[in-house]
Amino acid sequence: MRRAVTACCLAALLLPGQACPDPPAQVMSIVREADLHWQRDPQSPGLESAVLAGDPRRAGEPYVLRVRFAPGAFSHPHFHPNTRYIVVLKGTWWVGAGAAGNRDATTPLPPGSFVIHHAGEVHFDGAKDEEVIVQITGIGPGTATAVDATGRPRP
């Protein structure tokens, strides 16, 4: 098997346009951009998410997902029950803290930026004039609880 993969990769170097097959699934799982299944967020127009690994709904399970914000789309102020780790992949992501949701009081984060949303802390985030994609990692449940202007959970 190793010789076949080595031969294929050597051929790919010598013959442009040739590609090696994916490594065996027991070695690694590969998710390509074209494989993502984006789902709209019914609570926040202009937001879509795609799960790359795990299940964010399951308590105790690690997950990785991507969230895409259309230009002008922001989340409502909310909090998460568990800490989340976020990397900005595309566009400038704007983040803010507090229940007021004041978009003028947000901090711009360019691609490559890293953010930690601490558990139980109210925040909001989104895109202003361009599409934004972030990648989020956490331990489930990866739910969000929307809050009212006083910071109390919405019914």
Helix (H, G, I), strand (E, B) or coil at 61: coil
The model's pLDDT over 47-70, given as tens digits with 9 standing for 90+, comes to 999 999 999 999 999 999 999 999
Position 38 scores a pLDDT of 97
Average pLDDT for 30-56: 94
> How far, in Å, are 7, 19, 39, 128 from residue 93 at the CA level?
44, 35, 20, 8
Q: Where are the domains of the chain?
A: 1-30, 33-146
What CATH topology corresponds to 33-146? Jelly Rolls (2.60.120)
Total-model pTM: 0.85
Strand order in the sheet with 93-97: 107-109, 93-97, 123-127, 78-79, 145-146
Position 15 scores a pLDDT of 61
Helix (H, G, I), strand (E, B) or coil at 9: helix
Residue with tokens 């346009």: 17
Among residues 50, 73, 75, 67, the alpha carbon closest in space to that of 125 is found at: 75
pLDDT band at 42 (very low <50, low <70, confident <90, very high): confident
The model's pLDDT over 79-137, given as tens digits with 9 standing for 90+, comes to 999 999 999 999 999 999 999 999 999 999 999 999 999 999 999 999 999 999 999 99
Among residues 70, 53, 73, the alpha carbon closest in space to that of 142 is found at: 53
The model's pLDDT over 6-17, given as tens digits with 9 standing for 90+, comes to 555 555 555 666
